[in-house]
């Protein structure tokens, strides 16, 4: 893995305005709240957390599909938010996304070849003959045949649709791809095929991934480093080996304990968190996890902990671990 920083997220916020109610006294939903991390070139950076914690919003804000409220995102040293429309369109060729639901992300009125050709037309790359060659190459790369070109999305299986989504993301020769729950809508056997495909494509084209998922087993299979998110905050970042063997944050430990185990590992104690996930529009003060945390102290209720490096490339946001 290259140690060059490709994506640098700095103090990123994404807030949504809501009507003020009893359940939303501030009229603000902090979907992404002061998030900072780096993604190295050629690595797969996993992002996990419960549904509704802000994972997809974070991924789309990094790509500027959603405009950040505060903070900035740098791609290869360039502040993406400071670019004008022309420069932003140019850099978008290098930043792509594979959406969660392949049925919803593909235009049902267009054939597969039209779907893959569209980004090339928008960005005005290749002549018509080269575009046809590129479509054939991409279909072959993702394990589909030329006979799929004239089919419509409804004529394909879920796994085939997601392969088309991956082919479309590759059409512009990107460097960075956000995989937003890219396998969650697929059967387990098809999930394995798509994960293997993503791994092979990474090796072949030197790609960098942000892999978003709520499935810890899937993240374990593909990620080099993993970030754990809770109510818009990153609570822990570590290499996948250290996270799974030596996790430090109580929320991470509870997530890992929920993974089904077999054999001797099945006897591991399950950590059951008290209460429900708070309403993100009325999140707790201080550490957002303190209402469910088994080791919370008074300081947790008032002051939000900073994400600090406790060992080599292992970051945790927890007052109980402060020196």
> How much of the chain, in percent, has pLDDT values that exceed 70?
96
How confident is the model over 179-238, as pLDDT tens digits? 998 888 778 888 888 899 999 999 999 999 999 998 888 888 899 999 999 999 999 999
Residue 278 has pLDDT above 60, yes or no: yes
Question: How large is the average pLDDT for residues 75-97?
Answer: 93
SS3 content of the chain, % helix, strand, coil (to 5): 40, 25, 40
How confident is the model over 23-32, as pLDDT tens digits? 788 888 999 9
The predicted structure's pLDDT at residue 102: 85
What distance separates the 2 farthest-apart alpha carbons in the chain?
67
**Which two structure tokens, joined as six digits, stand for 151?**
């089919």
**How far apart (Å, rounded) are the C-alpha atoms in residues 169 and 176?**
10
Q: Name the pLDDT band for 268 (thresholds 50, 70, 90).
A: low
Residues whose CB falls within 8 Å of the CB of residue 78, separated by 6 or more in sequence, listed in order: 91
Backbone angles phi, psi at 290, to 5 degrees: -65, -25
Give 5-94+174-247's CATH code, choosing from 3.20.20.120, 2.50.20.10, 3.90.1150.10, 3.40.50.300: 3.40.50.300
CB contact at 8 A, 255 and 228: yes
Question: How large is the average pLDDT for residues 40-54?
Answer: 93
pTM above 0.85, yes or no: yes
How confident is the model over 111-166, as pLDDT tens digits? 999 999 999 999 999 999 999 999 999 999 999 999 999 999 999 998 999 999 99
């Amino acid at each position: 893995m290259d140690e060059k920083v490709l994506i640098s997220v700095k103090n990123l916020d994404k807030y949504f305005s809501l009507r003020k109610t009893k359940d939303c006294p501030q009229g603000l939903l902090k979907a992404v709240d002061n998030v900072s991390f780096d993604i190295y070139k050629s690595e797969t950076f996993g992002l996990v957390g419960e549904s509704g914690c802000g994972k997809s919003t974070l991924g789309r804000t990094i790509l500027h599909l959603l405009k950040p409220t505060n903070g900035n995102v740098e791609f290869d040293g360039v502040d993406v938010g400071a670019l004008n429309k022309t420069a932003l369109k140019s850099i978008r060729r290098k930043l792509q996304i594979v959406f969660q639901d392949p049925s919803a992300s593909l235009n049902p009125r267009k054939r597969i070849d039209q779907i893959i050709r569209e980004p090339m037309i928008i960005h005005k790359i290749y002549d018509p003959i080269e575009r046809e060659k590129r479509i054939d190459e991409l279909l072959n790369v993702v394990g589909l045949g030329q006979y799929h070109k004239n089919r419509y999305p409804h004529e394909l299986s879920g796994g085939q649709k997601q392969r088309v989504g991956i082919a479309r993301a590759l059409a512009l020769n990107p460097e960075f791809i956000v995989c937003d729950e890219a396998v969650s809508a697929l059967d387990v056997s098809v999930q394995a095929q798509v994960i293997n495909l993503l791994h092979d494509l990474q090796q072949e084209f030197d790609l960098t991934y942000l892999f978003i998922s709520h499935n810890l087993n899937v993240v374990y299979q593909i990620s080099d480093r993993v970030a754990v998110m809770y109510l818009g905050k990153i609570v822990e970042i570590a290499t996948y080996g250290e996270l799974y063997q030596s996790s430090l944050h109580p929320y991470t430990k509870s997530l890992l304990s929920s993974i089904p185990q077999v054999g001797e590992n099945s006897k591991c104690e399950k950590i059951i968190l008290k209460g429900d996930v708070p309403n993100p529009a009325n999140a707790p003060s201080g550490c957002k996890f303190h209402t469910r945390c088994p080791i919370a102290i008074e300081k947790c209720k008032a002051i939000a902990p900073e994400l600090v490096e406790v060992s080599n490339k292992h970051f945790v946001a927890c007052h109980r671990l402060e020196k």
